[in-house]
Amino acid sequence: MLKQRVITALILLVILGAAMLAPVRWPLLAIFVLMSTLACWEWERLSLSQEQQRWAWPLALLNGALMLWLSVHWYHTGPQGQAADLVYRGLVPLMAALWVVGATGLVLQGQATQRTQGVLLSVMGVLAPLVAWASLYLFLHTQGIVYVLSLLVLIWVADIAAYFAGRAFGKAKLAPRVSPGKTWAGALGGMVAAAAWMLISANWAGSFGADVQQRWGWVATAALGVALAGLSIVGDLFESLLKRRAGVKDSSQLLPGHGGVYDRIDALLPVAPVALLLSGAWLF
């Protein structure tokens, strides 16, 4: 299993790295559209009832089409470009609010079984991957590769630190009804590590941390690192909630050794739109 995980991770890193370093942006756009579509499909399979499963692919294709439309027409000056810009500027704060309020509320509640919640979950399944991947694509256009990598490292650092802090000190469960393995010690460890990363990376020109520090100051930079780490935990727990609701271990088996695409980006989905609001690239 470990060998399979490593091989899959290396292949994905090579493909993504080559696309990010390519002189043109269409390879990366193609990857983002594909990842957004697949993550949406996995999300819908988790949130839709057995009778509604036939809608998983149509909704996923809608997600991919919207992602492609937004990206292609972003910098057009005609009506389509203006429409895409208007739609995206509305979706970013909407998704940020849904994550901060809606998803956090469902995680604290520990269940999502009501019919109205099912509809909300399905709508979020279309919009959440779309906004997250589109945010990264916009960051690349307006801020560059270093910016995107520093944001991704923030999520990875928080996740790794949470794992080791949880193993070393974790006793009190964070959300036993949703994910019994998560502990308060792990969450605090991830938040501290994220704050430290934000302060360290703030010294590197072109990084997400440097941008936040210039806009908000040093204290706010550390605090926002804690907040974004907290959101990454919400994203993780929210997917765990969906999987428990569906009675499955992984969102799919698309990535050997890793589960599905959604399993790999669950923490990114809530962090990306909030990071975009904090950065100012949203107003570019």
Sort 143 into a burial class: Cβ within 10 Å, 0-12 / 13-18 / 19+: buried
pLDDT digits (tens, 9 = 90+) for 155-188: 999 999 999 999 999 889 998 888 888 999 999 9
Of the pLDDT bands very low, low, confident and very high (cuts 50, 70, 90), residue 18 is confident
Q: Is the pLDDT of residue 279 over 90?
A: no
Task: Give per-residue pLDDT as tens, 202-257.
Answer: 999 999 999 999 999 999 999 999 999 999 999 999 999 999 888 899 999 888 87
Upper half-sphere CA count for residue 183 (Cβ side, 13 Å): 16
- Give the domain extent around 94: 2-283
Cα separation, 273 vs 264, whole angstroms: 17
Identify the pLDDT of residue 229. 98
Q: Map tokens 């910098």 to a residue.
A: 75
- Whole-model pTM? 0.91
Residues with Cβ within 8 Å of 181's Cβ and at least 6 positions away in sequence, in order, are 166
pLDDT digits (tens, 9 = 90+) for 189-198: 999 999 999 9
Q: What does DSSP assign to residue 103?
A: I
Domains in the chain: how many in total? 1
For residues 209 and 278, what is the distance between their CA atoms, to the nearest angstrom? Answer: 11
pLDDT band, very low/low/confident/very high, at 8 (cuts 50, 70, 90): confident
Q: What is the pLDDT of residue 9?
A: 81
pLDDT at 78: 61
The DSSP H or E segment spanning 94 is helix 79-97
